[in-house]
């Protein structure tokens, strides 16, 4: 489904934790500022004066990252944050119509974030995120403004959380070419559920994404379920029920975390995205595409996160992140 919408880079995992959990996490309410990229309503008071730095290494010099800061405002009972996200696609070879090499050019994307979240009542919170986005390819540039809105609800025992998010709503300001039509925004309607087990240090998360686009399948010339008849026509050997089940699971991402230690000093994470597995697997070869994993370590006032995701046989992406709560750092400095 790629290439159909503008500014798709905003849907890439913002943090190493999100990468490890399958690419996005919108319902687990924690003190992790890095998860706010999935749902602006998860911004909360426990993230006051938190700084994060994230960097994701892709293939062949492609990478993306994020840096941000969150602050809680007691007077308004709100938490605000701001940051910058970037995507670099590495160098490209520039050539003329005859194929003569002229040099190199670059392609990159950037997003400036500003968001706010507020506790609506004892169990519910709401948030909004605004992003100014700019995509550049050589001398061609497209700009726009995107908005995400989200709501979270916490159960009475605080073990189960629910979330509803609409991401990527917006408008395009400028186009790569003045005469081209305006592109589609990367709108994604999502529902999330997270469940922390009562007697086991484990949290399960389930994300239902792209609910505004039911059909996520595409016609592939390498589809194993298509056979050619003696008359040259093709027949789909998979039933309509099988197609429906396949398409249903393309909307679901699973994630799990083992939270080890009284203060969750060590976290082991796993994730699986069925859609990525179906779209990026190599025909007739076993593939781990769609699987992801990672760890998180709490070292004094610093939390270090590492996540990796398998996209292709060529290798994996490696995501590194660090979170620092300046309030904890200050308190420990005074004690020392």
This prediction's pTM = 0.89
Q: How confident is the model at residue 41 (pLDDT cuts 50, 70, 90)?
A: very high
The predicted model gives 205-224 an average pLDDT of 81
Q: Are 263 and 204 in contact (CB under 8 A)?
A: no
The torsion defined by the Cα of 308, 208, 279 and 290, in degrees rounded to 10, comes to 20
Q: β-strand 78-95 against 266-273: which pairing, if any?
A: unpaired
How many CB atoms are located within 10 Å of the residue 146 CB? 23
The span from the CA of 9 to the CA of 208, in Å, is 19
Of residues 252, 153, 140, 261, the one with CA closest to residue 206: 252
Three-class DSSP category at 6: coil
pLDDT, tens only, 261-308: 988 899 999 999 999 998 888 777 778 899 999 999 998 789 999 999
Strands (E), 120-242: 124-137, 140-154, 160-174, 188-196, 202-208, 226-228, 234-236
Tell me the per-residue pLDDT of 61-112, one tens digit each, with 9 for 90 and over: 899 999 999 999 998 889 999 999 999 998 899 998 888 898 999 999 999 9
Delimit the domains of the chain by residue range. 8-216+251-335
DSSP 184: P
**Domain 8-216+251-335, CATH:** 2.40.160.60
According to DSSP, the β-strands at 50-57 and 63-73 are: antiparallel
Determine the Cα–Cα distance for residues 305 and 17; give it in Å rounded to an integer.
6
pLDDT of residue 226 exceeding 70: no
Q: Using an 8 Å Cβ cutoff, are 280 and 287 in contact? A: yes
Whether the CB-CB separation of 89 and 106 falls below 8 Å is answered with: yes
């Amino acid at each position: 489904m790629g290439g159909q919408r503008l500014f798709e880079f905003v849907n890439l995992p913002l943090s190493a934790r999100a990468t490890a959990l399958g690419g996005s996490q919108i319902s687990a309410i924690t003190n992790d500022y890095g998860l706010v990229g999935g749902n602006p309503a998860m911004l909360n008071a426990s993230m006051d004066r938190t700084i994060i730095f994230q960097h994701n290494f892709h293939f062949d010099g492609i990478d993306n990252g994020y840096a941000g800061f969150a602050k809680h405002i007691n007077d308004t009972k709100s938490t605000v944050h701001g940051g910058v996200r970037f995507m670099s696609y590495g160098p490209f070879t520039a050539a003329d119509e005859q194929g003569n090499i002229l040099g190199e050019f670059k392609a990159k994307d950037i997003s400036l974030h500003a968001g706010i979240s507020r506790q609506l009542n004892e169990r519910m919170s709401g948030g909004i995120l605004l992003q100014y986005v700019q995509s550049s390819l050589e001398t061609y540039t497209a700009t726009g403004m995107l908005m995400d809105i989200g709501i979270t609800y916490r159960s009475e025992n605080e073990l189960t959380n629910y979330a509803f998010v609409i991401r990527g709503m917006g408008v395009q300001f400028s186009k790569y070419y003045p005469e081209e039509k305006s592109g589609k925004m990367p709108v994604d309607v999502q529902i999330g559920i997270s469940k922390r087990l009562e007697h086991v240090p484990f949290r399960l998360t389930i994300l239902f994404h792209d609910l505004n686009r039911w059909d996520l399948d595409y016609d592939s010339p390498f589809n194993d379920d298509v056979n050619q008849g003696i008359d040259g026509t093709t027949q789909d050997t998979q039933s309509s029920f099988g197609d429906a089940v396949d398409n249903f699971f393309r909307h679901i991402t699973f994630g799990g975390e083992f939270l080890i230690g009284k203060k969750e000093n060590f976290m082991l994470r796993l994730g699986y995205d069925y859609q990525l597995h179906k779209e990026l697997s190599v025909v007739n070869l076993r593939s781990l595409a769609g699987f992801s994993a990672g760890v998180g370590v709490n070292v004094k006032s610093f939390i270090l996160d590492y996540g990796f995701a398998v996209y292709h046989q060529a290798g994996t992406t490696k995501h590194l992140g660090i979170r620092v709560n300046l309030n904890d750092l200050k308190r420990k400095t005074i004690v020392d």
